[in-house]
Structure 1
Amino acid sequence: MKWLQIHITVDQAQVDFTETLLNSLGAVSVTLDDAENQDLLEPLPGETPLWNKVIVTGIYAQEDDDEIDVAALETFIRAQMPDSPLNYEFLEDQAWERTWMDAYEPIQISEKFWIVPEWMEAPEADAVNIKLDPGLAFGTGNHASTFLCLQWLGKTDVKDKIVIDYGCGSGILGVAALLLGAKKVYATDIDPQAVLATKQNADLNGVLDHLYVGLPEEFNETFQGKQADVLVANILAGPLMMLASEFATLIKSEGEFALAGVIEEQVTDVSNIYYKFFDILDVDKREENWCRISGKRK
């Protein structure tokens, strides 16, 4: 079997029409991609943002004994959307699951500290190796903000300490803290899929018994009256600013924290709010202007 991919570049306002058109013509799936390298930050709950220019791709199965009339299909689409750039290609059948897995490689965070996809061998067997299943939740180590938090954890003394992973995504930061010696990690996220992914990745690394994860309401009830030695939050500048006073109640005096998901232009605004409760000790930057703010509770 071959697969026909039809790519149409459209404005944001035309996306729904284009999806409907491709589906009506028998597409087995339709995907959306950025056409202009425009950054999209992680959406807030209920939001589904799109790029200004979008590549809408319809995938069609071409059986060996029932070939698609590509010329007729192209003519029909161009008649409906004469001003939209269109191109197509054929793909040979392949093991799609294997192709997806091949996109991931071990990532070295620092000396003797790695993220390793669960199906691969660790480059250094005696290192701290986080086994990860890149599932449905944010946080594989490839993104600059996640990498910055992992770097910070790698050089922070978390041994025998209580750590909060706020906005845990895949659970990669909480799992890393436990593998680095933390006594207990309390993790939370607004996404139920993130809660599930965190449990799965903690179990994969043999640290599930030392991790609690729940939705924010459950987390607040469970953690009530407690304070952490360390807090790491890899979310976005807006939520971070709203959570500053809450974080101040969650961290012990002199407790350490790291915030990420902040771009360079937002550092001053975030820091100004956190100065009320925290001493800002360091701001570090990685590619594409992503920054990490770290310090201690006053």
Structure 2
Amino acid sequence: MDYLEFKIKCLEQFQEILIAELSMIGFDSFLETEEGIDAYTLESDFDRKAFDSVIAQYKEAAEITIEEGVMPKVNWNEEWEKNYDPIEVDDLVYVKASFHPSKPGFKHEIVINPKMSFGTGHHATTFQMLRHQGQIDHQGKRVLDVGSGTGILAVMAHLLGASDVEAFDIDDWCVENGNENFDLNGLTTRMGLGTIREVQPQGQFDIVLANINKNILLDEMAIYAELVKNHGYLLLSGFYTDDINDLTEHAKPLGMELISQQSKDNWAALILKKV
């Protein structure tokens, strides 16, 4: 079966949003490039109407242009290896693929073979979540990673000493890839499949991590607040700096207090504490 290829040029801050939107309408493979993203879907799975709707929604704001083509056969590993460089988050963590050499001078090292999942640390949201994790005591804590993607934040929690890490994602490809990355980094936990309402995590957690998008965060905020223990932490990202007030105002009545925030490339990340 042939794959359809869409080379999408767009502003950098829209790359992860477009990947998320296209994955919801049947696209199963992505490459982030210097100019935007390359998106792939089986010809039999392609929904032109849904695709055009997604592109129209972001075309003007993201300055989108598209080249379409057909790719009969793809060596995915070879393709993403060409486009994946290691990431350095301060001296906290060095994120690399299995084919990269290690690098001294970092407290931790994460091995992520992203394949076609997203959440490698390259995007500003993931980068900031990792940095915020480094500011929170994970030792012996129970941690939940919502919308885990490649599993990178769950891996970070494990390396920081969390005693129990749970993770899940709505995409079965992310779950498969995430479990592979867990194995590479010594996690025995398995990633679940579904939304937070479908997975229904049990008990409460010292730390909840959610790097998704503004609308989902607002919709699920009350669930996160219920899952966070008193004096526990909720780490959020996946939204713009202009959205910070909307998120914090929504969280405040739920007993969640903003204690730290940062921004990178107009993307924001927050640490909230349950008081």
What's the TM-score bracket when you normalise by the shorter of the two chains? Answer: 0.7 to 0.9
Select 1:58's aligned residue among 63, 66, 69: 69
RMSD of aligned alpha carbons: 2.7
| Cα pair distance change 1:218/1:198, threshold 3 Å | farther
State the partner residue of 1:268.
245
Q: Does 1:214 find its partner at 2:178?
A: no
Q: What is the match of residue 279 of structure 1?
A: 257
Residues 137 and 169, structure 1, Cα contact 8 Å, conserved in 2: yes
Larger Rg: 1
Shift of 1:211: 5.0
Change (3 A) 1:219 1:96: closer
Q: Which residue of structure 1 aligns with residue 268 of structure 2?
A: 291
For the 8 Å contact 2:205–2:227, the answer to whether it is kept is: yes
Contact map agreement 1:271 1:280 (CA 8 A) in 2: yes
Quick check: 2:77–2:115 contact (8 Å CA) kept in 1?
A: no
Residue identity matched to 1:31: F
* CA distance in 1 between partners of 2:11 and 2:105 (Å): 41
Are residue 32 (structure 1) and residue 12 (structure 2) matched?
A: no
Identity of aligned residues (%): 27
User: How many Å separate the matches in 1 of 2:106 and 2:243?
Assistant: 39
* 2:235 aligned residue: 258
For 2:238 and 2:144, the matched residues in 1 are separated by 16
Residue 187 (1) aligns with residue 167 (2): yes
**So what's the TM-score if we normalise by structure 1?**
0.71
Measured after TM superposition, the shift of residue 147 of structure 1 is 0.3
Partner of 1:204 in structure 2? 184
Mapped to 2, the partners of 1:59 and 1:243 lie a distance apart of 38
Identify the match of residue 152 of structure 1 among 124, 129, 132. Answer: 132
Separation in structure 1 between the aligned mates of residue 11 and residue 134 of structure 2, nearest angstrom? 35
1:248 aligns with 2:228: no
Query: Displacement of 1:213 after TM fit?
Result: 2.9
Q: Deviations over 1:115-157 (max 9, x none)?
A: 0111111112874110000122220000000000000112211
Aligned residue pair count: 234
Q: How has the CA–CA distance of structure 1 residues 111 and 31 changed in structure 2, closer, same or farther, with 3 Å as cutoff?
A: same
Task: Identify unmatched segments of 5+ residues in structure 1.
Answer: 1-26, 62-94
Residue of structure 1 equivalent to 2:215:
238
**Could you tell me whether the CA contact under 8 Å between 2:93 and 2:108 is conserved in 1?**
yes
Contact 2:76 2:115 in 1 (8 A): no
Partner secondary structure for residue 253 of structure 2: coil
Aligned equivalents of 1:227, 1:37: Cα separation in 2: 36
State how far apart, in whole Å, the 2-side matches of 1:282 and 1:256 are.
11
